[in-house]
Amino acid sequence: MTSKPFHDLSKAYRMELAHAYTTDLKVWDLPVRIMHWILAIAIGVCWWTGANHQLEYHFYSGYVILWTVLMRLYWGLVGSSTARFSNFVRGPKAIVNYASALHRRDTPPSHGHNALGAIAIIIMLGLVLTVVILGLFSVDVDGFYSGALSSYVTFEQGRHLAHLHQKWLDVLLWVIALHIAAVFFYFIYKQQNLVGPMLSGKRPGDGGEAEMKIAPLSRFAIGGVIAAALVWAVSNGFYF
Ligand code: HEM
């Protein structure tokens, strides 16, 4: 073995090393991958329909986002090992250590989220939930398309919350842009493809890493039904 950075090695040696990394290592389970891409698509739809006054579809995509974020929070507590907050949210020391080695190209890929990515994920999930909740309480100028919970606030409060809904959406979009830029940074600078594993669930491993623990899909289905019932209740303003 050599201690040279990966990109300084000869092409032949890099290929030899790449062949040594032949085992498929499972890093993301199906629920995490499905929730990620639902979230990415639904946020795109919600943003487009909001900007183009297609408010009926804006509401539907908002409910999809609410269900997905609730499910991601639930899966962060009871899901597979790499999905659990207790496994990827790390303390300040681990974050500083990780950040100080960010410029190095020879660091091995993380098993699940890295210490910095974990912060971005918590911020993104928190912002998405904030924007959805603000939207639910928002009051439209003419009252035709107000949020499902807007009857619990006054007209002035609802208008103020509608402004905050817009403002926090802008913040969320910047964080998402940063998230996508980080994925490109890993691909171009560190030569680590993070998108492939978010699609297939696997990345190449050297055979020595511990396998992730996969939670049963039935647990996801039970949570999914409860979350759907909650979103349905919210969409009716809790009036039955
Ligand atoms: C609205 C847009 C998006 C949102 C809200 C979003 C949000 C998230 C969240 C919350 C995670 C954590 C996954 C989890 O543990 O559940 C994540 C991870 C990830 N996202 Fe996105 N994402 C968005 C768009 C994208 C796009 C367009 C790409 C591809 C270019 C992408 C690539 C990834 C990758 C590769 C990971 C895994 C990172 C890692 O290996 O730690 N995301 N994203």
Q: What integer pLDDT is reported at residue 6 of this predicted model?
A: 54
pLDDT at 151: 96
Tell me, using a 6 A CB cutoff, whether residue 169 lines ligand 1: no
Q: Confirm whether 37 is domain-assigned.
A: yes
Looking from the CA of residue 113, the nearest atom of ligand 1 is 41
Query: Separation of 176 CA from ligand 1 center, angstroms?
Result: 8
pLDDT of 135: 98
For residue 98, give the CATH number of its domain. 1.20.950
CA of 233 to the centre of ligand 1 (A): 28
Mutate to test the pocket of ligand 1, among 33, 198, 203 (most ligand atoms within 8 A of CB): 198
Say yes or no: CB of residue 198 within 6 Å of ligand 1.
yes
pLDDT for position 1: 44
Ligand 1 atom with the smallest distance to the CA of 27 is 40
pLDDT > 70: percent of the chain: 91
In the chain, the percentage of residues whose pLDDT exceeds 90 is: 80
Q: Indicate whether 27 belongs to any domain.
A: no
- For residue 133, being part of any structural domain is answered with yes
- Output the CA–CA distances (angstroms, integers) from residue 128 to 17, 40, 87, 191, 195, in the order listed: 40, 11, 22, 29, 21
Out of 20-24, 27-31, 143-147, 169-173, which region has the weakest mean confidence (pLDDT)? 20-24
Q: Is 119 in the pocket of ligand 1 (CB under 6 A)?
A: no
The verdict on pTM exceeding 0.75 is yes
Least confident residue range of 40-54, 104-118, 150-164? 104-118
CA distances, 30 to each of 26, 74, 139, 198, 200 (Å): 10, 15, 37, 9, 9
Among 13-22, 26-35, 209-218, the range of highest mean pLDDT? 26-35
Q: Which pLDDT score, from 0 to 100, does residue 11 have?
A: 60
**Ligand 1: does its nearest atom lie under 6 Å from the Cβ of 32?**
yes
Give me the number of domains the chain comprises.
1
User: How does pLDDT run across 96-147, given as a tens digit for each residue?
Assistant: 999 998 999 888 888 889 999 999 999 999 999 999 999 999 999 887 899 9
Range of the domain at 134: 33-235
What pLDDT is stored for residue 8 in this prediction? 63
The answer to whether residue 137 sits within a structural domain is yes
Checking if the pLDDT of 5 tops 70, the result is: no
On whether residue 24 sits in a domain, the answer given is no
